[in-house]
């Protein structure tokens, strides 16, 4: 990125209520150069997700980090433990992994499913414990599934009656990431059958989904879940990301999510971006490199680092 284009980028972010970057812009005058780097599936239809009409980053060593840190109040005005690092990593990420529930979508998929089966409050209590990090994820998953025991037809009916809704801005963020050539993955403790329609809507390959698999008998009745899936247990997300990184050889990978299990993913993630646009969890605010409540600033960084 040239100096003039960098100045335009900072001005644009400042307009979006990012005043620390406006201050950082002033530091450019003292710098000679600056670079900001770049099986039942057939029986369950892909339900359309209705568009949303209202809105609901290790120490960095590059000149990018020095520029961001030049603004005295950068970390104060952007929540997180290492905002400049997260911004730098996002600017050049080869892959971005998103949690799904309460990040990519506006709800917890298992809670929606439980509601349709009349088990909402009981299951939601277990979900809250798991997302806040108060219980091992595998224990919460097993307990919730034992409560609802969803059949194949239960899941299909749930998705038909209650299509999962995307968080505002996430489709645009995925679009600009993919346009830049950044691979997008959905890494979730939720269920593959419920996530596949979301992936299709976003243009994410089903091969890029790392999630849990519910097991059924020949009649389509619930029999359990596949405990071999990495995301079926605590510390599952770092395991999934290690698999992804080893398979594709990515140099820079980001994890974006709202829950305690997402904050376990660094390493191998190079930065953690906590998302609080649906629900704010204190454990995420405390551990995230950068904590955001919408995707607008992330979109701006990616768009200006194509």
Residue 294 is a catalytic residue: no
User: Would you state the torsion angle of the CA atoms of residues 141, 146, 151, 156, taken in this order, to the nearest 10 degrees?
Assistant: -40
Residue 101 is a catalytic residue: yes
Residues 6 or more apart in contact with residue 141 via CB below 8 angstroms: 130, 189, 212, 225, 232
Find out whether 98 and 186 touch, Cβ atoms under 8 Å.
Answer: yes
Token digits of residue 166 = 């995307």
Residues 6 or more apart in contact with residue 177 via CB below 8 angstroms: 93, 96, 184, 302
Q: Spot the catalytic one: 99, 234, 262, 294.
A: 99
Q: Spot the catalytic one: 101, 258, 262, 294.
A: 101
Radius of gyration of the chain (CA): 20
Half-sphere exposure of 142 (CA within 13 A, CB side): 9
Q: Would you please indicate which residues are annotated as catalytic (active-site) residues? A: 99, 101
């Amino acid at each position: 990125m040239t100096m003039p284009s960098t100045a335009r980028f900072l001005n644009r972010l400042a307009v979006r209520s990012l005043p620390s970057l406006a201050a950082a812009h002033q530091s450019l005058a003292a710098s000679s150069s600056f670079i900001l780097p770049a099986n039942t599936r057939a029986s369950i239809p892909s339900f359309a997700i209705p568009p949303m009409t209202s809105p609901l980053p290790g120490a960095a060593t590059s000149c990018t980090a020095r520029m961001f840190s030049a603004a005295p109040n950068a970390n104060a005005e952007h929540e997180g433990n290492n905002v400049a690092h997260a911004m730098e990593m996002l600017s050049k990420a080869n892959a971005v992994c998103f949690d799904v529930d309460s990040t990519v979508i506006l709800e917890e998929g298992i809670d929606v499913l439980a509601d349709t089966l009349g088990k909402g409050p009981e299951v939601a209590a277990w979900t809250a414990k798991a997302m806040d990090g108060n219980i091992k994820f595998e224990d919460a998953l097993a307990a919730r599934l034992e409560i609802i025991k969803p059949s194949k037809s239960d899941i299909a009916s749930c998705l038909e009656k209650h299509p999962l809704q995307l968080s505002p801005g996430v489709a645009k963020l995925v679009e600009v990431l993919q346009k830049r050539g950044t691979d997008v993955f959905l890494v979730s403790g939720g269920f593959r059958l419920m996530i596949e329609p979301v992936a299709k809507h976003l243009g994410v390959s089903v091969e890029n989904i790392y999630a849990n698999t519910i097991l059924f008998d020949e009649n389509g009745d619930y029999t359990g879940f596949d405990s071999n899936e990495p995301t079926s247990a605590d510390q599952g997300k770092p395991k999934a990301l290690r698999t992804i990184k080893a398979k594709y050889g990515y140099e820079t990978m980001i994890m974006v999510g709202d829950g305690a299990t997402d904050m376990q993913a660094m390493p191998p993630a190079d930065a953690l971006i906590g998302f609080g646009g649906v629900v704010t969890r204190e454990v995420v605010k405390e551990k995230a490199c950068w904590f955001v409540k919408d995707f607008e600033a992330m979109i701006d960084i990616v768009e200006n680092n194509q």
